[in-house]
Amino acid sequence: MKKKLLFVACLLTGLLFINAGLNKFLNYLPVPKEMPEASLKLFTAMMQISWLMPLVGIAEITGGLLFIIPRYRALGSLILTPVMAGILLTHITTDPGGWIMPALMTLVMAWSVIEQRRQYLYLIGR
């Protein structure tokens, strides 16, 4: 039961990342009409760096796909961790009301890492 619950949580989290990554290329999600000024400044600055959003989009799509597949979930977690850290910190600092979903996604990723902790031992030579 625990394995199935983890799979469903990872599937939903992975799909959220894939959706966010695809949106960076296809721009199909509407931009919120009322954004905090700090968020607007941050996103405007990030858009000025032409390669940043495509890079984050590729990382989100690749990491999301890998995160869904149990065999490659550890690799997906490694790809998504810096992206998730940026998302979570951005929401905490610029949009305090929007931190709940990134926090839940972070918890799912942490649960996945804890469940697959043996796979990470190879990275540190054990």
Ranges of the chain with pLDDT below 50? none
pLDDT tens-place string over residues 69-78: 999 999 999 9
Instruction: Delimit the domains of the chain by residue range.
Output: 2-28+53-124
Residue 106 CA: distances (Å) to CA of 27, 46, 50, 113: 24, 22, 27, 10
- What pLDDT shows up at residue 3? 93
pLDDT for 100: 92
Please write the tens of the pLDDT for every residue from 81-107. Answer: 999 999 999 988 888 888 899 999 999
**This prediction's pTM:** 0.91
**pLDDT given for residue 124 in this prediction:** 81
Alpha-carbon span 35 to 44, nearest angstrom: 12
d(CA 31, CA 83): 20
- CA 76/CA 59 separation, integer angstroms: 9
Q: At what angle are helices 37-48 and 52-68 packed, to 10 degrees? A: 100
